[in-house]
Amino acid sequence: MTAEQWGAIAGSICIIMAWSYLFKESDVYYFAEHLFVGLTVARGLTYTFENQLKPLILKDIAEKGQWSLLIPVVIGLLIYCWFFKGLRWVARITMGFWIGYGAGYTLAFSPPVYLKQVFDTFTPFIKDGRFNFEGVLYFLVVITALMYFLFTVKKESGVLKYGSMFGRYALMVAFGSAYGSITMAYLSLVIGKLQVIFKDALHLVK
Amino acid sequence: MDWDKLQRIDVRWIYVLVIVCLLVPMFWPLGLPITISENTRKVWEAVDKLPPGSVILVSHDTGPGNAPELNPMLSALAKQAFEKNCKIVGVAFFDQLVGPPMFQEYVGSVAEKMGKKYGVDWINLGFRLNATATMRQMCDDIHGAMLGVDWQNKPLSEFPIMNEVKSIKDDVDLIFVTTVGTPGYADWMTYVAEPLKKPLTGGASLTMYSGLQQYIRSGQLQGFLGGLRGAAEYEKLVGAPGKGCSGMDAQSLGHMMIITFLILGNIGYFASARKKSRA
Amino acid sequence: MQLRRQLPLMVVFVTALLVMLFKFFNFGETGKNVLSQMDKWSQVTSIVAFLLGPINLIRLHIGNVAKRRPRWIHSALTLVVIVVFTIVFALNGSNGKVTLWVVNNIAIQISGAIYAMLGFYICSAAYRSFKLKNLEATVLLLSAVILMLAQAPIGEAIIPGISKWGEWILSVPNSAGMRGIRLGAAIGAFAASIRVILGLERSWVGGSTAD
C-alpha cells in the first residue's frame, strides 16, 4: 500500500474517533481532540520558526543589514512580559501598537468600501423608462433594516414603527436564506468526510 | 398515529439517518443536472477574459473544517487558468495547517497533468502571519512581504515566475480568494483590491455566502462561488467534473431530508400543542 | 502607576495617527515609505510574538497535570504530542513528507470531522427546534426552504425554475438585509476605533471605560 492509502485509512480512523462523540462522550473523542491540539501547536511552532522567524533574522536583518527591524523585534518581545506579574503593563505596549495599527487601518481603508455600498443602494426608481421594482425594494429593505437597528429613538408609531416592522420581516428573509446556505455548507462537510472514508480509504464509491 | 411521539425520538437515530441519506446517492448516483448560476458564470468570465500569460494571485484562506467545500474550486481554477496559459501565485492567511498544503495538493495535481512547472507557471508562497500587514506589503513588494522564501523555505529569486511577479500593483491581473472568515475576502477587498482597483473574485464557504451578496451587486466582487455547489458549477463550466460534482447528489438527498425533518418536527409540535390544549 | 496606563494608550494614539496621517495626506515617497515601514514592523512584531499562544497553552496543560485536574491525562497527552511532534517536524522540515502526511491525514481530518459534526446538529435542530411559532418564524422557514431547494439539483427537478427564485432571494432581499446589517456594523466599528484611538476605551489597559 502507498503512503496515500495509509493516509486515507488513518484519516478515516481519525474521523470515526471524532464522530464517536455524536453517539457517546468518550475518551476516544478526547484522545482525538487533544491529538489535534498537540499537532496544531507542533506544526505552528516549526512552521513559524522555519518559514518566518528564520528568514526574518537570517535574511532581512543579518544578510540585508536591515538593523532598524530590531526595533519591532524588541516591541514584539515585550509581549512576553505578560507572563511576569509585575511587568504585565509592559506587554500592553505591544498590544497598543497592534490596536493602534488595526484601528488606524480600519479608519483609513474601510470608508471607500462602505461608501460604494451606500452609493449602490441609491439606484434610480425609473430605469429604461420602466419602474425599477427590484431597485426600489432593495432601497426600502436597506433603509428599513437600518431603521430596525436604530435603538436610540422610540418606534411606537408612524414611519419608524412600520418601517422597522418591514425591516424585521426583510431580515427574516435574509436570515432564512443564511440558514438555507449554512445547512448546505455543513452537509458538504459531512459529505467530504464520508468521501474520505468510503471513497479514498475503502474504495467503495467511485 | 401518535404524532406526539415524534417529539421524543432519540437524536442518535437522526444522526444515523443523516449518514444513510448522504451515503445512498454515493453508491447509486442520481445524476441530476446542475444548473449554472449567474455568480459562478461571472467568476468563470473574470478568468476567461484575462489575456494569456496573466498572473492570478490565489489566496487559499480556508480552515480544516470548510476545506471540502473550497478545495475543489482550486482544481477547477487551475484547469481554467493553465489552459489559458495564465500563471498562479498562491498564498494563505487563514490557517497554516490547511492553506499551503492543500493549495500544493490541488493546484499541483492539475499542474502535473497539464505539464505546468513549479516555479515557472505556478508557485506556493505559503502562510504568513498578520494578514493586513503582509497584504499591504505585497501591494508594492511581494518578495519582501514573503520574507524572500516560498512555502518550502527556498529563495524566491531561484524561481523564474518570481522574477516577473514583483508586486500586486504592477504584476497581478486578478485576485482569487477562497474564504471562510477573517482574514478573507473582506481584507483583500479593503486593503488590496479597492485601493489598487484590481478585480477580485473567488469562492466562499456557504456559511458566509449570503453575507457577501451585496458586494457582488455593487461590483466589488466579480461574482463568487458558493460552497460545494459553486465548486460543482465551476467544475462543470471548465469541463472537469471532480469532487464538487460528485457531492451534489448526496447534497440533494441531504436537503430533502432536512426539509422532511422540518415538516415532521412541526407536525409533532402542533400535534402535542393540540393535545395539551384539549387536556 | 499613571505611566503604566498612559503609555500603552499613547502608543495606540501615535500609531493610529501615523497610519491615518500618511494615508489621508499626500507626503509623496516619504509617506509611502513610512506606511510600508509600519506594515513591516507590524508583521515583524507578530512573528516575534508567535510563541505567546503555545506558551499559554503549555502552561495551562502543565497546570492541569501538576494539580491532577479532571481529565489531566488528556493534558499529559497534549504535552507529549507537542514535544514529540515538534521534534519530528523540526527534523523532517516544517513541510517535509512525514510532516505533511501527519498534518493532512491526522490533524486536518480530526479538525474537519469535529467541525462537520455541525452538519448532524443542524439536522437535529431542524427537527427539534425549528417551529412555526409566529409569522416571523414562518417567513424565515419559507426563505430557508426555497434556498435549500434552489441550491441542490433535486430542487430544480421537483420545481423547475426554483434555482432562479433562490438566486433572486440571495441577490435582492437577502443582499439588502445583509447590507443594512453591515452598514450598521461598520458605523459601530468606526465609532469603536475612534474611541480606542482617543483613549476613551480603556478596559484593555485595566481601566474603566469613559462615556
- Do the Cβ atoms of A100 and C24 come within 8 Å? no
The residue among B95, B150, B218, B256 with the most chain A CBs within 10 A of its CB, best to mutate, is B218
Distance CA B17, CA B23 (A): 10
What's the rounded mean pLDDT across residues A107-126?
Answer: 91
Q: Would you call A1 an interface residue with chain C, using a CB distance cutoff of 8 Å?
A: no
ipTM of the complex in this document: 0.89
A–B interface: beta-carbon pairs under 8 A: 140
Task: State the Cα angle at A155 between A153 and A156, rounded to 5°.
Answer: 130
- Of chain C, the percentage scoring pLDDT greater than 90 comes to 69
Query: So what's the pLDDT on residue C209?
Result: 56
**Contact status, residue A43 vs residue C99, Cβ threshold 8 Å:** yes
CA separation for the pair C13, C4 (Å, rounded)? 15
Average per-residue pLDDT in chain A?
Answer: 91
Cβ count within 10 A of residue C133 = 11
CA distance A57 to chain B (A): 10
Give C-chain residues touching B214 at CB under 8 angstroms. Answer: 175-176, 178-179, 182
pLDDT of residue A1: 82
Domain total of chain A: 3
A197 and A149 within one domain: yes
Grid cell of A142 as nine digits: 436597506
Q: Residues A127, A116: one domain?
A: no
pLDDT at B104: 95
A109 and A128: one domain? Answer: no
Q: Given CB atoms, is A10 within the 8 Å cutoff of chain C?
A: yes
Do B100 and B262 meet the contact criterion of CB atoms below 8 Å apart? no
Q: Residue C1 — very low, low, confident or very high, per pLDDT cuts 50/70/90?
A: low
* Residue-level pLDDT at B236: 93
Share of chain A above pLDDT 90, in %: 70
Provide the shortest C-alpha distance from residue A156 to chain B (in Å): 30
- Which parts of chain B have pLDDT scores under 50? none
Residue A161, pLDDT > 90, answer no
Which residue in chain A has the smallest CA separation from B217?
A120
What is residue B200's predicted lDDT score, i.e. its pLDDT? Answer: 97
Boundaries of domain holding A104: 81-121
Q: Is the pLDDT of residue C208 over 60?
A: no
Query: According to the model, what pLDDT value does residue B2 have?
Result: 66
Residue A97 sits in the same domain as residue A138: no
Res A96 pLDDT > 60? yes
Q: Is the pLDDT of residue A143 over 80?
A: yes
Which residues make beta-bridge pairs with B178?
B60, B203
Sort C168 into a burial class: Cβ within 10 Å, 0-12 / 13-18 / 19+. Answer: middle
Q: Is the per-residue pLDDT at C132 higher than 60?
A: yes
Distance from CA of A27 to the nearest CA of B (A): 19
Secondary-structure breakdown of chain C: helix, strand, coil percentages, each rounded to the nearest 5: 85, 0, 15
Instruction: List the helix and strand counts (H, then E) for chain C.
Output: 10, 0
Query: Diameter of chain C by CA atoms?
Result: 71
Quick check: is A38 in a domain? yes
Buried b (16+ CB within 10 A) or exposed e, A135-153: beebbebbbbbbbbbeeee
The pLDDT of residue C95 is: 87
| Residues A196, A129 within the same domain | yes
Backbone angles phi, psi at C137, to 5 degrees: -65, -35
Q: Are B139 and B168 in contact (CB under 8 A)?
A: yes
The reply to whether A114 and A127 lie within a common domain is no
At position A29, the amino acid (one-letter code) is Y
Q: What percent of chain C has pLDDT over 70?
A: 97
> Is C4's pLDDT higher than 90?
no
CB contact (8 A) between residue B133 and residue C39? yes
Neighbours of chain A (3+ CB pairs under 8 A): B, C
Q: What is the mean pLDDT of chain C?
A: 91
The pLDDT-based confidence of C28 (bands split at 50, 70, 90) is confident
Considering only CA atoms, which of B189, B60, B217 is closest in space to residue B123? B60
pLDDT value, residue B271: 83
Strand ranges inside chain B, DSSP E:
55-61, 87-92, 122-127, 174-179, 200-204, 225-226
Contacts of residue A177 in chain B, CB cutoff 8 Å? 210
User: What local confidence, expressed as pLDDT, does residue C210 receive?
Assistant: 55
The whole-number pLDDT of residue B4 equals 66
Cα→Cα distances B99→A12, A172, B141, C10, Å: 21, 34, 21, 37
pLDDT value of position A81: 94
Q: How confident is the model at residue A124 (pLDDT cuts 50, 70, 90)?
A: confident
Instruction: Kindly state whether residues A39 and A57 are assigned to the same domain.
Output: yes
Q: Is C189 on the interface with B (CB under 8 A)?
A: no
Tens-place pLDDT, residues C168-202: 999 999 999 999 999 999 998 899 999 989 988 88
Mean pLDDT, residues A160-173 taken together: 90
Q: How many CB atoms lie within 10 A of CB B276?
A: 9
